[in-house]
Chain A
Amino acid sequence: MFNEGMGYYLQSIKSETFIILLHTFTFVEYTFFCLYIYFILPQSILKKILPFLWIGFIVFALIDLIYVNTGIEFDSFAIGIESIIIILLCIYYLFTQIKGTNSLLIYSTFNFWVVITFLIYFAGTFFLYILAQGLRYDISFRKEYFIINISFNILKDVLLCVAMTMKSTDTVNEQKNGFPDLDEDLFISKKIN
């Protein structure tokens, strides 16, 4: 909320810092997401090409920032491409989960909730960001922008909270289902050994 409030304030005072922050945020956001998805994806061709995909987008975003956008406008094009890549990566992750033979229900895992958070957030804000470039100074658009952006940010936070709950639940279940030390009474327990 603080982040959004600060963004809105910087935008309202027409600060150039806002634009620089947005550009930087795109790089950081994309990098962190790629890192995260890289660690959770099972071994596949996509996992192998993911570092190249990351480099490719960063190079593209830099070119867009320096030569096309020249750092004065909202980076709609870069965010649009970023959103598409992230949505596709999320779909691919879900596809691998369906294909796998995991007997654990998919929605009881931490990673699933994180991935669907990103999927829903980027799908929901896709049109918002790609339209933002030309309409940054349109007052009615800014209101809509604020409402849609804040709604999806809240949804994102709620879903991430659910993800956190999943993580802690899993840990509790692991402790509950831990195999008891049946050798304990016979004095050959591992603890003693």
Chain B
Amino acid sequence: MFFLQTVFGRPSVLILGTLGMFFMAITLVSVVVFHQRRVIRFNKQIQKMEEERQQMLLRASIQFQEEERQRIAADLHDDAGPLLATARLYLNENLIHQEPAVQLQSIFSAKQIIDDTIQLIRNISHSLMPPTLKNFGLEAAVKDLFDKINGSGVINASSRFHDNRQRLSDEQELLVFRILQELVTNIIKHSSAGFIHLTQNAQGNIVYFRIHHDGKGILQADFDKMEQKSSGLGLKNIQSRIRVLNGKIFFEIDNTHTYYKVTIEVPRQPNK
């Protein structure tokens, strides 16, 4: 301080020092305020984007439910309705005035139609909740699904469950099954794959599912991009189900660029 006073003179040191310190304090306060404003603006932007994303997922979920309801309504109206109406025609009041042989024929035809209707309703019911999944669990349901795909002869589908001693809860199994169903459907529809293989394994509290296929697949960046678009309902449903599961999904390609991989991580929840 003494050195400064001798070099610059006492008044200069006082004035310059005071002004310097004052402006330094003002600058510091301004930096803090502007930085905080910027951080808050950034956080708000992220929050808004997240809200929009949630909205989009919610809309997709609602749209999916509506489409599912419409499909069931159409199935019931177009298939079950005419069948039951036909059965009713066979069993009209005039039947008692008919010849016994004709009566027998009508009753047989009505029975046939009612059987068909029962089968139809069963199919609708199975599409809503696969009985194999309900009765025997995810492993059996996946096997069943893959057997049906194999039956078509177009694609070779196989699955292997390595560690399924501790099963997921019923609700989680249904969600995982729906995700796998959607992924497999997408692979069949868009990838021109020759084979699909599903591997399941568990480590600690996390259950892993991985689908390999040799078709034309998508990567994580593509998935994120497609999910942001208003189209691509299936992918949004996958994402919303993953969120419900508190899980993760990864779309990758192997190092040799031969197989595409879709990995799902699901943390176990206790059965309710």
Contacts and interface: CB of A to CB of B under 8 A. Distances in A.
Chain B residues touching A, majority SS: helix
Name the prevailing secondary structure of the A interface residues: helix
Contact of B25 (A101, A103, A120, A131): A120
B14 A131 contact: yes
Contacts of B29: 94, 116, 119-120
B45 interface: no
Interface of A: 87, 91, 94, 97-98, 101, 103, 105-107, 116, 119-120, 123-128, 130-131, 135, 140-141, 144, 148
A94 B1 CA distance: 29
A180 B29 CA distance: 37
Contacts of A103: 40, 43-44
A84 B21 CA distance: 11
Contact of A148 (B10, B18, B37): B18
Contacts of A91: 28
B10 A141 contact: yes
Contacts of A125: 18
Interface residues of B, number: 25
29 contacts: A87-B25, A91-B28, A94-B28, A94-B32, A97-B36, A98-B32, A98-B35, A98-B39, A103-B43, A103-B44, A105-B40, A107-B33, A116-B25, A116-B29, A119-B29, A120-B22, A120-B29, A123-B22, A123-B25, A124-B25, A125-B18, A126-B17, A127-B13, A127-B14, A131-B10, A135-B10, A140-B11, A141-B10, A144-B14
Given A94-B29, A131-B13, A141-B10, A124 B36 contact: no
Contacts of B24: 123
A127 B17 contact: yes
B26 interface: yes
